[in-house]
Amino acid sequence: MCGDCMKKVIVIGGGASGLVAAINLSKKFDVTILERNSECAKKILMTGNGKCNYFNWDINIKNYYTDDYNKLETILSDKNQQRVLKFFDDIGVIPRIKNGYYYPYSNQATTIRTLLLKQIENRNIKVINNIEVESIEKVGDIFIVESHNLSFKANKVVLATGSIAGLKNVNEIGINIASNFFKVISPQPALVQLKSKETIKNCNGVRCDAILSLYIDNKLITEESGEIQITDYGISGICTLNISSIVSRSLGKNIQVKINFMNMLESNFLSWMDKRCKKLSNYNIVEVLESLINYKIIYSILKKAKIKKDYWLNMNQNEKELLKNLLFAYPLEIIGTNDFTRSQVMTGGVSLKDINPLTMESKIPNLYITGELLNVDGKCGGFNLGFAWITGMIVGDCND
């Protein structure tokens, strides 16, 4: 089909989902990408600490938060996952798979970005950088996309703007545009650190393996196990990030986390300590426990419990129980999260209820929405990029 006869598609956003959408749509349409940054896919370079954890072999609804799990399950089908993996194989990505996490074999995020942009170049997809879209209007069957000095007409528009997570001084143009067409769920930071009313004293920067339990209005909501980091404002680390989406959507309620520093059976702890301290009779409490957890945490717990650095056999039963409770369920009242500049993704956006999961077309005909602009956010481990690739791939299935 001649270039002038082909229907025109505007993809707003040259990030993960936008690039995949543009590449697939270019087989049938005349595609133009409008990107507000000086170049496409800059955010990809920040993923996975620069290594780009771009997928996970456990892409499953249990690793996501959304408002419509039935539609999400359709989007994350095995077929769509395999199509994404084949896509990356076809463009030249060799995966390095570690514990289910997919990285480019080079361990360099630039590999993913370079190979995606090579496809954009090979397919003669027009890219306009440094352009800030201000509005979209639909007149009849035609979309009019306006920036401050340019105007575009298109038969189809793909909103793939992502979010402001991790960025500074950037307007959330995607949310603003979407708000003209949909009732948007208020965006909040996700995969972000948590702030607590009190902190674990003198432990700033300490990392440890733990089990993190989240309670909202005194009800256990979820648990995460893995590394946490104690900070001077609260907690961080993968466990913390993975529950932060729930926290962001629950602010205003009574939110508490309990930290299990011990990763062992609580019911056996007192008898275990009795036996261990008889064997190590000349060891004080810190020396007995230091082989299990960081000594700074032990000192902080003893101070909170008002227990002297003493010997286990000299402690009364109430002191032993209190120490055990703090070791296995250290309570922190959560009062908030860090802001978008510290977050990796956002929760909120356009509801999946407004989306056809087979095409990513919205309730507005020929207006498609992909990636992070949708009210879907995943845990750490390649789940958010995985969702972005898949939704971009699905848009490429749309017909004339």
Q: What is the pLDDT of residues 17-51, one digit of tens each?
A: 999 999 999 999 999 999 999 999 999 998 888 99
According to DSSP, residue 306 is labeled T
According to DSSP, residue 265 is labeled -
Domain spanning 8-188+343-395, CATH class: alpha beta
Distance (Å, whole) CA 389 – CA 41: 13
Q: What is the pLDDT of residues 122-143, one digit of tens each?
A: 999 999 999 999 999 999 999 9
pLDDT at residue 170 in the model: 60
Predicted TM-score (pTM) of the model is 0.94
Average pLDDT, the chain: 94
Position 21, amino acid: A
- The helix/strand/coil state of 98 is strand
pLDDT at residue 13 in the model: 96
Measured in residues, the chain has a length of: 400
Identify the CATH assignment for 190-262+331-337 out of 3.90.550, 3.10.20, 2.40.30, 3.30.43: 2.40.30
330, 259 Cβ separation under 8 angstroms: yes
**pLDDT level of residue 65 (50, 70, 90 thresholds):** very high
**pLDDT surpassing 60 at residue 3:** no
pLDDT at residue 1 in the model: 46
What CA dihedral angle connects 146, 147, 152 and 154, to 10 degrees? -60
Q: What is the pLDDT of residues 301-330, one digit of tens each?
A: 999 999 887 788 889 999 999 999 999 999
Place of tokens 């970005």: 113
Q: Quick one: what percent of the chain has pLDDT higher than 90?
A: 86
pLDDT at residue 167 in the model: 76
pLDDT at residue 5 in the model: 59
**pLDDT surpassing 50 at residue 242:** yes
Q: What is the pLDDT of residues 264-307, one digit of tens each?
A: 777 889 999 999 999 998 999 999 999 899 999 999 999 999 98
According to DSSP, residue 226 is labeled E
Q: Where are the domains of the chain?
A: 8-188+343-395, 190-262+331-337, 269-327
Give how far Cα 395 sits from Cα of 30, 360, 389, Å.
14, 6, 10
Q: What is the pLDDT of residues 228-239, one digit of tens each?
A: 999 999 999 999
User: Between vectors from CA 72 to CA 68 and to CA 76, what angle results, nearest 5°?
Assistant: 170
**pLDDT level of residue 4 (50, 70, 90 thresholds):** low
